[in-house]
Amino acid sequence: MKKVIIVDDEKSGRTLIKEYLEPHKDLILLGEANNGVDAVKIINEFKPDLVFMDIQMPGMTGFDVLEHLEELPQIVFSTAYDQYALKAFEVHAVDYLLKPYTKERFDAAIARISEVHKIISLAEEHIEQKHEYPERIIVQKGTKYVTIATNDIYHVEAYGDYSKLHTVSDTFISNHGISVLEEKLDTKQFLRIHRSTIVHLDKIKEVTKYGKSYMIVLSNQEKVKVSRGYADKIKALIF
């Protein structure tokens, strides 16, 4: 189901769209407006999926309306003026109905809307299925760049504007600072324990009390300190 709003200063224009909408039972008309000011109010209130919008209206054009919307729905412009077509598509309108238009032309616009919706849905599904975090990354070693598996990283150490990535056998340089790497690395595997340290949870061998915080011993025998500001993250993992 798609929620629809009609905006046109001419009653005949609104009536025609309502007539053409009638066979499309998946399009639910929520309301209509005959001027730009009311259009902004009703669109921001009801958050429709689709708006049929006139362009030339008293006080505020259809393009002006778009600039005042909190969320941008799919837009089909419906107008008697062909000179706005290029601008309409520049603001990502789905279609441009030039009055007077036939029911067949209206139905073609609806078909295009459905096709766009399918493409968006497929893209969103692809993004959801796509692996969110990299399993391999490219890092610097001397004058060369090599790839390493993120699972081989034991801990990350801040290194000025850069970072050092420590593995069991080597240390590599990342061009990113530690805060950027914190966002790029899988949060299910990596944990920030200090403003200058991130550890791989699978590489933790033991945790010991260290003053009011903790000391972590990694499986490669390296020791990294948990700062007091991050101690609650470790405490949350203790059962």
C-alpha pair distances (Å), 76 with each of 17, 36, 98, 104: 11, 15, 11, 15
- pLDDT at site 162: 84
C-alpha pair distances (Å), 164 with each of 80, 137, 158: 63, 13, 6
Q: Indicate if 6 and 114 belong to the same structural domain.
A: yes
Q: Write out pLDDT tens, residues 49-91.
A: 899 999 999 889 999 999 898 888 889 999 998 888 888 877 7
Query: Which of 98, 129, 160 corresponds to the end of one domain?
Result: 129
Nearest to 205 by CA among 219, 189, 192, 191: 219
Q: Which domain holds residue 97?
A: 2-129
Query: Which of 103, 129, 155 corresponds to the end of one domain?
Result: 129
Q: Indicate if 11 and 117 belong to the same structural domain.
A: yes
C-alpha pair distances (Å), 63 with each of 15, 83, 84, 153: 22, 13, 10, 52
Report the CATH number that the domain containing residue 201 is assigned in CATH.
Answer: 2.40.50.1020
Q: Indicate if 120 and 205 belong to the same structural domain.
A: no
Query: Which of 129, 154, 185 corresponds to the end of one domain?
Result: 129
Q: Indicate if 14 and 123 belong to the same structural domain.
A: yes
**Surface-to-core class of residue 128, CB atoms within 10 Å of its CB (0-12 exposed, 13-18 middle, 19+ buried):** exposed
Q: Indicate if 93 and 172 belong to the same structural domain.
A: no
221 vs 114 pLDDT, higher one: 221
Q: Indicate if 223 and 186 belong to the same structural domain.
A: yes
- The length of the chain is 239
Whether the predicted pLDDT of 234 surpasses 60 = yes
Rounded average pLDDT over 99-128: 75
Whether the predicted pLDDT of 39 surpasses 90 = yes
Whether the predicted pLDDT of 175 surpasses 70 = yes
Whether the predicted pLDDT of 130 surpasses 90 = no
Q: How large a percentage of the chain has pLDDT more than 90?
A: 58
